[in-house]
Amino acid sequence: MTTLNNTPLLKKLCNKGDQINIINGRLSLLPLSKKEVPQSWLKQNENILISEIAELFSIDVYTYNCYSTGFYGKHKSEGVTLQFLNLATGEEAFMIFNAHLLRTRSTSKHKAGELLPKGQFRVSKNMRFYKWWLSTKLKQPPRLSSFHSYMGNLKQLFYTANVDRKGQILDKKTALLNIRHQDIIASIQGLNDGNLHTENIQDTDNRHTTITYKENVVGFEYQDVQANLTTCENNHGKRLNGSEVISNTLLIDKQIVNPKEQSHEEWLNSWDNA
């Protein structure tokens, strides 16, 4: 059970009268003094506060890690894999979407059917990836063919998701984390009373998404997930942040596996059945 000793920063800010909200996946901190919070401080302490809140409410919170493209399953279907990290445990979760990896038109330099440059993919508005992106409330790229340049923007948000034992996000759905300050205060007070407050958050003005509380996922077959997941673009030493490509080191070391060389495809059964 969470104790107040495990949430010193959260308790300190609440005792000061600062207001802490998580709105559409973003942490919002409003000090009682009304002074603007330095971005450097917020960047340094954001994950700490989110982790303490997640523990307080007994929920799993995820951050976006990286993406990869490949041809998956027995039908070698074109797709893009998004990988997330559990903020508390570091365990991976993933979901796969249909995407176009081949050129659809011929040009003076390229022929239709040729493979797009490494890491690039294209989607259409009727694809689930596009609809999922809309749910993040992030700005849309100017072209449906340029999502690969905007994937780094997903790192700004915190998500919740239902994940199976192999790390796959069920139903290809994540929800933006939404928790109100008054619910944080109520839960801390519940701890003081020796009774953890875990009721669903209900928002009477419908401004926020209701969080479904669930038991923490246990018993991940994490080694199996590592062996079967496709290689992120980050594993090649780069990540995309907005339209900028910058160098990056993986948070979790894992062996690089070429999707075309994978021998285990059990985790892709849902793809084949889609």
DSSP string, 126-163: TSHHHHHHHHHTPPPPSSTT-GGGTGGGGGG--EE--B
In a domain, 145, yes or no: yes
178-207 average pLDDT score: 65
187, 196 Cβ separation under 8 angstroms: yes
Count of other CB atoms within 10 angstroms of residue 126 = 8
- Comparing 136 with 195, the larger pLDDT belongs to 136
pLDDT at 176: 97
pLDDT at 207: 34
**Which stretch of DSSP H or E encloses residue 273?**
helix 269-273
In a domain, 210, yes or no: no
* Number of domains into which the chain is organized: 1
In a domain, 119, yes or no: yes
Q: Which of 83-97, 189-203, 204-218 is the most confident on average?
A: 83-97
φ, ψ for residue 106, nearest 5 deg = -90, 145
Pick from 3-12, 130-139, 146-155, 181-190: least confident: 3-12
Q: For the full predicted model, state whether its pTM sits above 0.75.
A: no
Count the alpha carbons within 13 Å of 244 in the hemisphere toward its beta carbon: 5
In a domain, 212, yes or no: no
Strand extents, DSSP E, the chain: 19-23, 26-30, 62-72, 77-86, 92-98, 159-160, 175-176, 238-241, 244-247
User: pLDDT band for position 191 (50/70/90)?
Assistant: confident
User: pLDDT band for position 158 (50/70/90)?
Assistant: very high
Burial class (CB in 10 A: 0-12, 13-18, 19+), 117: exposed
In a domain, 207, yes or no: no
Task: Domain of residue 103: give its range.
Answer: 65-84+93-161+221-273
In a domain, 73, yes or no: yes
In a domain, 232, yes or no: yes
User: pLDDT band for position 112 (50/70/90)?
Assistant: confident
- Comparing 110 with 182, the larger pLDDT belongs to 182
In a domain, 262, yes or no: yes
User: What counts of helices (H) and strands (E) characterise the chain?
Assistant: 6, 9
